[in-house]
Amino acid sequence: MTFTPQLRAQAGEGARKAPNRLRGDLLPAPAARPRSSAERFGVTGLDRLSLAPARAESKPHVLLVFKTRYEDAAGMLRGVTHYERASNSWVAYLDDEGRAEIDPRWVRSKRWCGVISRHTTPTLARTCSELGIPLVDLSDAPPMPHVSKIRADNAALGQMGAEYFLERGYRHFAFCGYRDLGWSQERRTGFVEALGLAGHPCELFEVERPSDLAPFWEGAEADALTLWVRGLPPRVAVMACSDLCAFQVMRAAEAAGVLVPEQMGVLGANNDPMRCELANPPISSVAANSFQAGYQAAQHLDELMAGRASGVIDVRIEPLGVVTRKSTDVVAVSDAVVSHALSYIREHACKGVSVDDVLRQVLVSRSKLESRFRRHVGRSPQAEIRRVQVMRIIQLLLETDLPLAEIAELTGFVHVEYMCVLFKRFTGESPGRYRRKHRTEPIAV
C-alpha cells in the first residue's frame, strides 16, 4: 500500500473552514506482537498505576475512557500516552471497557482530576460536571455544553476523498453514508462541495446505520444498495463515510456483478487496517489523524487542570491522507494514451524520468500528449511528474528520518538544492520546515 499525504487543491480550499483546524502527523506503526492494553499504551486498569514514579500520589489522577478494540480509539490513546510521557505529570488509569460512560458510581468511586473520553455520553458529561472534573471529549457526537471537544474535521476528510478521486482521473462520483449520523453528513458535504467546485455532480445513497455487531444489513437495505450500485455509471468513484460502509459497498458491488476497481473505485474513511484488509480487494481509505487528536486532548486537559486554559474549545483535526489499496489502484481515464502515460509516470517519476521518456512509451507527439493531458488530467505531463515526486518527498519526510540528500536521491533529483526549491514552490515551505511542522510523533526504531 502507499501513503498519500494531501496537497490541497485550490478548488477545494473553500469547501469548509473549521475552527482551530490543525495539521497532523503519521499514524503510528502497528505493534510487532499482540500485547495487553497496559503494555501497548503505558496505562492500566483501575487496580494499578500506569506510571510508577516516586511520589506518584502527589500527581493528578487522570481517567482515560478508551475502548481499545477500536482502531481510532487506540490511535488516540497513543497520542495521549506520548504527551504524558513527555510531560510526566499524571498518574493515568485506563478504562478500556467503557464502564465510566454508563455508570456514574464508577466515576464517583475515585477522586479524578481530569477525564479524557473517546466514548463520551450525557451521563458521563453530567457526572463530571457535578463533580467539577475537567472533561475532554473525543467522540463523534455533537458538542455538549461546557465540554471541550476535539474531533476529526469530517468535511476536510470528505474533501480529501474528492481530491484523491479527481487526481486519479475519475469523472463520475457517488457517496454512500448514513442519514442518521452527523459525522457522516459532514463527510458527505465535504465530498459533494469539493466535487461541485470542480464542476462534477454526485450520486447519493444514505440509509440508517447498522449495528457494529451485525454481520450484514437488513435484507431490504442490502438489496437497495445493490440496486443503487448496479445503476451507477461505469468507471465511477464511490466514497463511503467509513470503512464499515465501504465494506458494505464492496459486498453490494459483488452482488451486482460490478468489478472493483476496474469498473468502480471504492474509498473508505478512518483507515481501520483490519477492516480494510479483510475486504477483497482491500479497501483504500482516508486516514484520520487519531494520534494528533489524542495528543491535543492531553495537552488541553493539562491546561484545564492547571488553570491555564482560556475556556472550552472545539478543535477539528485534519486527516492525514489517503492510504491506497487495491480498491482504487487504477487510473480512471478514458483516453488509453493518457492512462498508460499516467501509470508509467506514477511508477517511474522518482527514478528521474523526463517527458521524453514518457513519449517513448506512448508513441505520440509531444503536442498531442500535452493536449490530451490538459484535457483529461488538467495539467501537463511535466507537472504530473513533479507532483508525484513531491508527494513521495512528503512521505519520506514524515515517515523517515532520512537526510535531505538521501531523499533527493530516492526521488529522482541529482541536486538536493533543486529538490528544495521545487518542494517550496509546491508547498510554500522548505522540506526541513515541513518535517518539523507536520510530524510530532517519533519514528519507531
On whether both 189 and 215 belong to a single domain, the answer is: yes
pLDDT at 27 over 80: no
Q: Does 222 or 127 have the greater pLDDT score?
A: 127
Contact 342, 377 (CB under 8 A): yes
pLDDT at 359 over 90: yes
Domain-located, residue 105: yes
On whether both 143 and 83 belong to a single domain, the answer is: yes
Q: Does 73 or 23 have the greater pLDDT score?
A: 73
Which residues share a beta bridge with 219? Answer: none
On whether both 172 and 206 belong to a single domain, the answer is: yes
Q: Which three cell numbers stand for residue 403?
A: 537526510
What local confidence, expressed as pLDDT, does residue 94 receive?
A: 92
Domain-located, residue 351: yes
On whether both 282 and 301 belong to a single domain, the answer is: no
**Coil, strand or helix: which one is 263?**
coil
pLDDT at 103 over 90: no
Residues 141-156 have pLDDT tens digits of 888 999 999 999 999 9
On whether both 162 and 145 belong to a single domain, the answer is: no
Percent of the chain with pLDDT over 90: 53
On whether both 276 and 308 belong to a single domain, the answer is: no
Residues 158-202 have pLDDT tens digits of 999 999 999 888 999 999 999 989 999 999 999 999 999 999 999
Provide the pLDDT confidence category of residue 13 given band limits of 50, 70 and 90. very low
On whether both 27 and 38 belong to a single domain, the answer is: yes
On whether both 344 and 252 belong to a single domain, the answer is: no
On whether both 146 and 168 belong to a single domain, the answer is: no
Residue 103 structural domain: 15-152+290-317
Whole-model pTM?
Answer: 0.71
Domain-located, residue 329: no
What local confidence, expressed as pLDDT, does residue 86 receive?
A: 85
Amino acid at 319: P
φ, ψ of residue 202 to 5 degrees: the values are: -145, 130
Provide the pLDDT confidence category of residue 51 given band limits of 50, 70 and 90. very low
Sheet holding 314-317, edge to edge: 91-95, 61-65, 114-117, 135-137, 148-152, 314-317
Among the listed residues 81, 67, 88, 90, the one whose alpha carbon sits nearest the alpha carbon of residue 39: 81
Provide the pLDDT confidence category of residue 439 given band limits of 50, 70 and 90. low
pLDDT at 52 over 60: no
Domain-located, residue 102: yes
* Beta strands at 61-65 and 114-117: parallel, antiparallel or unpaired: parallel
Contact 175, 203 (CB under 8 A): yes
Q: Give the CATH number, domain containing residue 387.
A: 1.10.10.60
Amino acid at 109: S
Q: Give the CATH number, domain containing residue 224.
A: 3.40.50.2300
Domain-located, residue 445: no
**Coil, strand or helix: which one is 380?**
coil
On whether both 411 and 426 belong to a single domain, the answer is: yes
Find all residues with CB under 8 Å of 199, minimum gap 6, and list them: none
On whether both 180 and 234 belong to a single domain, the answer is: yes
On whether both 135 and 230 belong to a single domain, the answer is: no
Domain-located, residue 4: no
What local confidence, expressed as pLDDT, does residue 44 receive?
A: 40
**Coil, strand or helix: which one is 266?**
strand
Spacing of C-alpha 147 from chain mean position: 24
Domain-located, residue 178: yes
> Rounded distance, CA 108 to CA 353, Å?
65
Question: What is the number of structural domains in the chain?
Answer: 3
Domain-located, residue 271: yes
pLDDT at 16 over 50: no
